[in-house]
Structure 1
Amino acid sequence: MRKTSLTVSIPSPCQQSWENMTPAAGGRFCGSCQKTVVDFSGLTDSQIHELLSDTSQRYCGRFRKSQLDRQIQPEQQAASLLPAAVLGALLAAGLPATAAAAGDHAAQMADTATTRTITGKVTVENGQLMPGVSLVVKGTNKGAVTDVNGYYRLTIPVLPADQKVTVVVDCIGFKRTEMAIAAEQTVDVVLKDADAQLSGEVVVVGGVRRNNTWQRFKYKWRKFWHR
């Protein structure tokens, strides 16, 4: 059955504080409404679409405002997912698009004797690894993009001991982060949400209707969070 785009809305946001809810698998349990609120805030559009494309099931969820009330497209062929995410990050950071086409994760600098490589991962606050995140050496067009698993490898210049290299981290929907890097070899980044978050009963418009919906939803959710 052909997949279509969908739109997610929360008409009546929950008034309960997320921090006061009890941690539960995939989200938190709200004692007020006696339901588990599933945390979608760290998922990509394609992941949200896969989980919510069946509109016959009702549940509560937590989303960033930027994820709501807009079209969420279905997953394309596997080969096109990462380049699409990478392209968006490259455009936001001003990196040359040819780097994405070649699949490079680290810019090559002219004099390798004056450069070194750092590695790490990029996550959101709930620990979800983030693909397609742009990391750029400030003031240059040298950078990298996290791979499908949220890891990066970035070449940076070697500076005198009393100086640090500034790396700018960009991802749509999250606050821009600047890191001052000295002698570190491994640098992990945690993205902060750029917009407010809403929790409540989810209304989905669009998607595909299938049988055995609840079992399929639980299976897919476990697949995302227990890789």
Structure 2
Amino acid sequence: MKFKLNIPEPCHEDWQQMSPTQKGKFCASCQKEVIDFTKLSATEIARKTKNAKQLCGRFTSTQLEQDYVSTSQSSLSRLGIALGLGSIITVAQPGLAQEKRPTQESVLNLNSENEEEEKIDVVEALNNKMPICGFDEVIIITGNVTEETGLPLPGVNIIQQNTSNGTQTDFDGNFSIEISEEDFENEVFLQFSYVGFETVQVKINSEEKNQTLKLELSPGEALEGEVVIIRTNIFQRFLNLFRSNENKRY
């Protein structure tokens, strides 16, 4: 079942001035604990909120706009039974005899008998910046990502813009990414994104071979307050669709 989250009356208390708790912070104005959901994934939010009542939370605007899906226990049970029956049927079927085919090995000799094999010391070639087939010149970008308080951010997604080249920060917020020199024929940007924080783009300078970045991510715009769960009734959706089709006939 799909549902959305809404905060009809956002709290105007300063989040930074609230007292820290294990799950978020305590609001002295409404005398309630405000759970911080800004750093949780959609799956974790759906699991923690699907049966919640009188929940006070802090969410980003993006989290309040998206749909969440809750899977009921009965649905999981039916899925488990179906998978179990499928496994039994598969095991019960008689095995099909398979004819073993002889494996043919072929060796392609690229070296002529009259030519000596040419060997290249890769380490020496890289140190001397010699061009080697299959090895592209790269610029290595390393760095560290933290939040405003200085705490490291593990799992930050780092993507070279308009490419599939990417990496993530480790537990200490450190990262390393290689960028081909050919990419610097155009401007190169690295995009840093993390749940609950603003996405940042950094332009990379091609003049330095090895660069070290230190980046602080700022929390994204967030709302605090009592959460209202808006559930989508699938039968109501079908009824509305049927009514719309009936109205089109007349």
TM class, shorter-length:
0.5 to 0.7
Q: Does 1:168 align with 2:197?
A: no
Change (3 A) 1:147 1:54: farther
Instruction: Specify the alignment match of 1:155 in structure 2.
Output: 178
TM-score computed with the length of structure 1 as normaliser: 0.53
- Structure 2: how far apart are the matches of 1:127 and 1:59? 29
Superposition CA RMSD, Å: 4.0
- The answer to whether the 8 A contact 2:38-2:195 is kept is no
| Matched positions, count | 160
Residue 54 of structure 1 aligns with an amino acid whose one-letter code is N
Deviation (angstroms), 1:27: 1.3
Residue 69 of structure 2 aligns with an amino acid whose one-letter code is Q
Task: Report sequence identity in percent.
Answer: 26
Match of 1:199 among 224, 237, 240: 224
Deviation (angstroms), 1:54: 1.7
Runs (5+) with no aligned partner, structure 1: 76-109, 208-227
- The answer to whether the 8 A contact 1:7-1:72 is kept is yes
Change (3 A) 1:15 1:141: closer
Match of 2:56 among 60, 78, 84: 60
Give a deviation string over 1:175-197, Cα, whole Å, max 9, x none.
33215465346x56544355x31
- The answer to whether the 8 A contact 1:22-1:28 is kept is yes
- Structure 2: how far apart are the matches of 1:17 and 1:204? 24
- Structure 2: how far apart are the matches of 1:27 and 1:172? 16
Match of 1:38 among 31, 35, 41: 35
Change (3 A) 1:120 1:170: same
Runs (5+) with no aligned partner, structure 2: 72-132, 233-250
- The answer to whether the 8 A contact 1:28-1:37 is kept is yes
Give a deviation string over 1:66-92, Cα, whole Å, max 9, x none.
2114412358xxxxxxxxxxxxxxxxx
Q: Which structure has the larger Rg?
A: 2
Deviation (angstroms), 1:166: 4.7
